[in-house]
């Protein structure tokens, strides 16, 4: 399958990066640290994309230790494990931020860098959801599913915003900056406190607030993880509204219809209408096999985001289609039949209502989830490989190494003479 048409390739040469970062932490703390200290650790011969991939390898190592110590996301790990997660995520953030500086100083900036960067960030988002759930001892629960929804929506909306405004905008509080630093702090505190069970305690009681009857018991007993999710929900709503406003303002300025752009959110919400329905109809998947299902849903989102980035780079129409949603839709339809028979048809005497399940609710349902995951890996993998090869061939560059090192004009003249 061809993901970039030949007539769209010339648009790649018109690419010019545009980004705005309103974060005070980024402006006064992180950027000086990156430009004055970190960038000196990388040689001029190192490709920016290789820096990005190296940073992502730290997160992959973190994920492997999670699978070893707490595959069910509900057990306390040795303190050094949480500390390694904090260090690994901070290194990922650092490498991910420095790759742009490396691209500029080696004169390797281009559309491939943005595509590669967003693709790695999309995969990292899913992995960090699982690591965070394991840190909080959320287990294979609806809390983990809700955390996944919020994280993927944040990333999707940010990419949707960039497609329409042609500018990557990070607010005063954003996921790539404050969000990652918050996670690093959570991992570090967990290491000090000795395990994720610390976050299941009542936050108000832990910090010494006494309940004199003024605070409802349900609110007073909320754990740290639940307060964190409430905080994340507020930030999510704020950032989503802000992105929607940015998109509508940009389209109005270009004389385009503003509200039509909101249709670009449909692919995400269609998928996330199916996700909770499927998990509700198949509680065994949520309770025992949530990790592979989370991977599958994460790749569905990564594929949509990747298509948006390609459309942005080639100035193509917004991509509404996502073939990876179809297996999930089939799973919902297959599981809905027995539910209708059991809860609607039989009680009302409507024996014709509903249909038998082809997968059942046992081992075949588990196999179906892993089949969906394998399909997602294959489709997204072919997308990534095809797009990278197409861009590299057209621009005459390499992905992980520098094919044409930049030479100063004076040095060129000396070589010619």
Catalytic positions, written as ranges: 118
Could you give the CA distance from residue 34 to residue 94 in angstroms, rounded to a whole number? 7
How many C-beta atoms lie closer than 10 Å to residue 123's C-beta? Answer: 18
Report how far residue 308's alpha carbon sits from residue 166's, in angstroms, rounded to the nearest whole number.
12
Q: Residue 66 belongs to what H/E stretch?
A: helix 48-69
CB 150 within 8 A of CB 233: yes
The residue length of the chain stands at 417
Task: Please report, in angstroms and rounded to a whole number, the separation of the first and last CA atoms in the chain.
Answer: 48
Map tokens 């999710």 to a residue: 229
User: What does 31-61 look like in DSSP terms, one character per residue?
Assistant: HHHHHHTGGGGS-TTS-HHHHHHHHHHHHHH
Are the C-beta atoms of residues 306 and 122 closer than 8 Å to each other?
Answer: yes
> Of 86, 84, 112, 91, nearest to 34 (Cα)?
91
Number of neighbours of residue 355 by Cβ within 10 angstroms: 14
Residues 264, 128: Cα–Cα separation, whole Å: 25
């Amino acid at each position: 399958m061809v993901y970039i048409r030949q007539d769209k390739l010339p648009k790649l040469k018109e690419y010019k990066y545009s980004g705005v970062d309103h974060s005070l932490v980024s402006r006064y703390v992180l950027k000086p640290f990156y430009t004055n200290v970190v960038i000196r650790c990388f040689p001029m011969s190192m490709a920016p994309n290789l820096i990005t991939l190296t940073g992502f390898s730290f997160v992959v190592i973190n994920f492997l230790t999670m699978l070893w110590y707490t595959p069910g996301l509900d057990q306390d790990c040795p303190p050094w494990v949480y500390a390694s997660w904090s260090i690994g995520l901070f290194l990922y953030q650092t490498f991910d931020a420095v790759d742009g500086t490396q691209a500029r100083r080696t004169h390797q900036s281009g559309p491939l860098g943005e595509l590669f960067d967003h693709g790695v960030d999309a995969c990292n988002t899913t992995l960090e959801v699982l690591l965070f759930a394991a840190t909080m001892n959320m287990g294979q629960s609806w809390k983990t599913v809700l955390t996944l929804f919020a994280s993927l929506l944040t990333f999707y909306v940010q990419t949707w915003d960039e497609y329409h405004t042609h500018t990557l905008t990070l607010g005063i509080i954003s996921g790539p900056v404050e969000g990652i630093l918050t996670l690093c702090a959570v991992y570090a505190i967990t290491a000090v406190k000795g395990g994720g069970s610390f976050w299941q305690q009542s936050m108000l009681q832990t910090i010494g607030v006494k309940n004199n009857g003024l605070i409802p018991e349900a609110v007073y007993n909320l754990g740290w993880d639940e307060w964190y999710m409430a905080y994340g929900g507020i930030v999510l709503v704020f950032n989503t509204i802000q992105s929607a406003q940015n998109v509508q303002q940009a389209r109005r300025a270009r004389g385009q219809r503003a509200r039509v752009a909101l249709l670009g959110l449909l692919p995400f919400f269609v998928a996330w209408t199916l996700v909770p329905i499927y998990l509700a109809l198949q509680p065994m998947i949520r309770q025992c096999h949530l990790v592979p299902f989370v991977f599958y849903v994460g790749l569905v989102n990564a594929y949509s985001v990747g298509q948006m980035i390609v459309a942005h780079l080639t100035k193509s129409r917004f991509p509404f289609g996502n073939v990876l949603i179809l297996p999930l839709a089939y799973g919902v339809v297959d599981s809905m039949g027995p539910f209708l028979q059991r809860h609607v048809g039989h009680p009302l005497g409507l024996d014709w209502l509903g249909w038998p399940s082809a997968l059942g609710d046992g081992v075949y349902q588990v196999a179906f989830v892993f089949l969906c995951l394998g399909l997602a890996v294959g489709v997204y993998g072919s997308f990534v490989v095809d797009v990278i090869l197409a861009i590299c061939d057209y621009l005459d560059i390499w992905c992980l190494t520098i094919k044409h090192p930049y030479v100063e004009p004076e040095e060129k003249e000396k070589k010619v003479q």
